[in-house]
Amino acid sequence: MSAADSPGRVRVDPEDTVAGPEDLLVKGERSSSTIRFAPIAALEGLVDTGRTVFVADELTAGFVRRLAGDDRIAVVPRGEAAKCLASLDGLYERFLELGVGRDWTAVGVGGGSVSDLAGFAASTWMRGLDFGFVPTTLLAMVDASVGGKNGIDYRGYKNLVGCFSQPRFVLVDPALLSGLPGYDLACGLAEAIKHGVIEGDGHLTALERAVAADGAIDRGALAPLIARSVRLKASVASADERETGDRRKLNLGHTIGHGIEATTGLPHGACVAAGLCLAFALAVERGGSEADARRVGALVSRLGLPAGLEEARRGSPATKDLSPAAFRDAVAAAAGSDKKRVGSDILFAFPMAVGDVRIGPVALEELRDFIRRAP
């Protein structure tokens, strides 16, 4: 048995993902998604602009205004505020106003929240439209736009309403990141670090080399890092579209991370970073690698992201005045509502070592107790 095939490891087979010289393919049960690395101008060759509605926020609309004017742009809120029933209803209303039919295409242009909302709206309008994504943040490029999971939040719970449906295409243009602030890039790298932990040492080492001692990110290194993350996720999602096996490993850092996000309102990537470090801490209690836990924690801290609960509490205006105990109680309550809950257990991704992530049940009360005492 090779290292790639040993328990806890995800095998990445290039022949399973490559659709063309520069493209990757995510295979779904009903359709497949082509991930194309190209300038945004290539969008003109992917859609009929006369029958395309572009879903964007007030900033990302500027990337496609030349193609659509304002006539076929549906503007939605920025950030997590886009992922709610009110935004979905507003988008449906815009579809109706434009006369969007089953021969149209919907294109989500923006960060992960925009693609989640646009993909869900397109998948449910008239029982399903053709759709695609143009991610404009690092987090969306490496994670949110790839894999066919679409959805919205409901009553404060992350991604509770959604579907599995593949976009026809994802157009990745790293040049769109040129104006993105360093902190936003760091938050995006949190998901890439997760991928590095899943795949193994070579992937994680490449990420470490792209981050200077002072936390500065080598923007010139982003394109190959994005491609590597996308390749990993494309392979995993193709093998397990509906998240019944290895795809659960992509939830690494998210169970506690989502609880932190619901409590603090910090950016998703920052919360995943804290959740990843906490997942390592819990894995160490079960025999996981302390050295790898320190290694990942050091990289997260170098990026200026929270490496634990206390740093997340202090870093949020919403929680900095809460007592540590009250904060942990709130995170524990939110984490207990995770959609991966099965009875009194939660299916948890344990990073036993870099390249060795295992899925196993953890009792809800055990998880809550850990959160109440974790750093």
Residue 32 — very low, low, confident or very high, per pLDDT cuts 50/70/90?
Answer: confident
Are the CB atoms for 196 and 357 separated by under 8 Å? no
Angle between helices 222-239 and 182-199 (to 10 degrees): 50
Q: What is the pLDDT of residue 2?
A: 38
Cβ(336)–Cβ(157) below 8 Å: no
Among 47-56, 326-335, 342-351, the minimum mean pLDDT is found in 342-351
Active site residues: 127, 149, 191, 233, 243, 247, 251, 254, 258, 268
Antiparallel, parallel or unpaired: β 32-37 and 23-27 = antiparallel
Which pLDDT value is given to residue 1?
A: 36
Q: Which domains does the chain have, with CATH numbers?
A: 31-177 (3.40.50.1970), 183-217+245-373 (1.20.1090.10)
**Helix, strand and coil in the chain, % to nearest 5:** 50, 20, 30
pLDDT tens-digit series, residues 140-156: 999 999 999 999 999 88
| Crossing angle of the two packed helices 182-199 and 268-284, in degrees rounded to 10 | 30
Instruction: Quote the Cα angle for 127-236-309, to 5°.
Output: 95
Is residue 243 pLDDT above 80, yes or no?
A: yes
Contact call for residues 345 and 361 (beta carbons, < 8 A): yes
Q: Classify residue 317 by burial, with Cβ atoms within 10 Å: 0-12, 13-18, 19+.
A: exposed
Query: What band does 23 get if pLDDT is binned at 50, 70 and 90?
Result: confident
How far apart (Å, rounded) are the C-alpha atoms in residues 159 and 120? 11
Confidence (pLDDT) at 158? 85
What is the pTM for the complete model shown? Answer: 0.89
For 157-184, write each residue's pLDDT tens digit. 888 999 999 999 999 999 999 989 999 9
Q: For residue range 204-233, what is the model confidence (pLDDT) as tens digits?
A: 999 999 999 999 999 999 999 999 999 999
Tens-place pLDDT, residues 290-323: 999 999 999 999 999 999 999 999 999 999 999 9
